[in-house]
Amino acid sequence: MLANIERYYDTVPRSAAHTEDFGPLTLFVRDGDGYQYYARPTLGHRGALTATHVRAVLARQQELGIPQSFEWVAETTPSLEAVATAEGLHVHRHPLMVLGADAETAAPAGTSDVVVRVLGPDDPVLASAIAVPHLAFNEPGTQLGHAGRPELAEQTARGIEDGSVQRAAERIRHGLSVLAAAIHDGVALCAGQHNPVGDTSEIVGVGTLPSARRRGLAQLVTAALLAEARAGGVSTVFLSAGDPDVARIYARLGFQPIGTAVIAVIAEPAE
C-alpha cells in the first residue's frame, strides 16, 4: 500500500509542475502561478541520501524564491528526518490514513440547514469553497475559532483576484480535482477536494470555517468526496490528518493509520 501511495505522490504534482533531479531527491517546481511544491525522495532511488543532497535542494529553492520544504513518508524514507533536522528544517509529523477498496464507510448524520454537494467548475459556491480552507488552516485544530463570514468574504475576493478560483475551475474541468462543500445560504462553510490518479486518490484541504466548527461538517464533506471517488472508480483513498484529534474524525469514516506523512520546512527564527 505504501508503495502505491509513493507512486501517487510522485505522479500528482506533475500535472502542474516540472521536476529537477537531485539524485535521491526530486524537486517539483510549479509551472506558472499557484501553490508552490516541494522536494520529495526520488521514486525508486536506492542510493544514500545525505546532507549534501538536502543542501543542494535548499539552495535551489532559495534561488527560485520558492518555499524551502520537503515532504515524504517516514516509513519509506526513514533516514531523511535526521538529515533534515540537522540542516535546520522544522519537522511536522502527521498520521497517514487509508481507506482500502473493501472498507465499509459509515455515513455521517447530516444537518438540516446545510447542503453538501460536489461542485462543478462554474458553480457559484466555488470561490468560497476555495477560500474556506485557507481560514481553517490559519486557525488549526477542531475547536471553535474566530474567523467567520466577514473574513470568508475577504478571502473569497482574494482568491478571485489572484486566479486561485480560475485555476481550481480548470482542474475540475480537466478531471484533475474534485471539490465538495457544505453550503449554507449560498456560502461554503467547509470544503475539501480529492485528486484522482488512476485508481488512487488523496483527500486534501478539508477545512471548516473556524466559527462554524463542531457541527460535523468536515465529516460530511469527506463522506461526499469518498462517495464521488468510489463512483469514479477509485479503490484506494488516503489522506494525512493534521493531528490526532483530526485523525479520530477520519477514523469514524473508516480510515485506518498506515504510516506517517512528514513535512519539513525551514524553521522560523526565534523572536
Helix/strand/coil for 133: helix
| Torsion region of 243: left, alpha or beta (phi above 0 gives left; psi -120 to 50 gives alpha) | beta
Tell me the C-alpha distance between 218 and 209, whole Å: 10
Q: Check residue 13 and report its DSSP letter.
A: G
Tell me the C-alpha distance between 29 and 13, whole Å: 9
* Domain spans in the chain, listed from the N-terminal domain onward: 2-95, 115-253
Tell me the C-alpha distance between 232 and 118, whole Å: 13
Tell me the C-alpha distance between 178 and 232, whole Å: 10
Taking Cα atoms as reference points, which of 224, 261, 270 lies closest to residue 69?
261
Number of H helices, E strands in the chain: 8, 11
List per-residue pLDDT tens for the chain, 271 residues long: 999 999 999 999 999 999 999 999 999 999 988 889 999 999 999 889 999 999 999 999 999 999 999 999 999 999 999 999 999 999 999 999 999 777 666 666 667 789 999 999 999 999 999 999 999 999 988 899 999 999 999 999 999 999 999 999 999 999 999 999 999 999 999 999 999 999 999 999 999 999 999 999 999 999 999 999 999 999 999 999 988 988 998 998 999 999 999 999 996 654 4
Instruction: Kindly report the CATH number that applies to the domain delimited by 115-253.
Output: 3.40.630.30
At 198, list the grid cell: 488512476
pTM of the entire structure?
A: 0.91
At 87, list the grid cell: 540542516
Helix/strand/coil for 28: strand
CA 210 to chain centre: 18
Tell me the C-alpha distance between 133 and 206, whole Å: 6
CB 89 within 8 A of CB 263: no
